[in-house]
Amino acid sequence: MELSRLARKEIINLYDGARLGYVGESDLLIDEQSGQIKAIIITPRGLPVRFGRTRELIIPWVAVKRVGKETMIIDISATKQPFHSQVDE
């Protein structure tokens, strides 16, 4: 799939139906050796920025369950919390 087509996909969590944003608004962590996507890094919309820091949601590529015509379905359940990191801006 072309990156331009992937960028238009809306990311939805299967666990709670949360709409997390679009792939095009996210960053991708790509393995330099293989070129494969390792993770999607999302800065959730509406999160307050405190003291120049934002909170990111890092979703491993293995959590992607299906890529459809308009959406990307991920499965991040309450027991499988994605990694959160704080980044200085």
CA of residue 44 relative to chain centroid, distance: 9
- pLDDT for the residue numbered 50: 57
Write the pLDDT tens digit of every residue in 45-75. 655 555 555 678 889 999 999 999 999 999 9
Domains and CATH numbers, the chain: 3-79 (2.30.30.240)
Write the burial class of residue 6 (CB in 10 Å: 0-12 exposed, 13-18 middle, 19+ buried).
middle
pTM for this model (two decimals): 0.74
Question: What confidence tier does 1 reach under pLDDT thresholds 50, 70, 90?
Answer: confident
- pLDDT for the residue numbered 2: 80
Question: What confidence tier does 89 reach under pLDDT thresholds 50, 70, 90?
Answer: very low
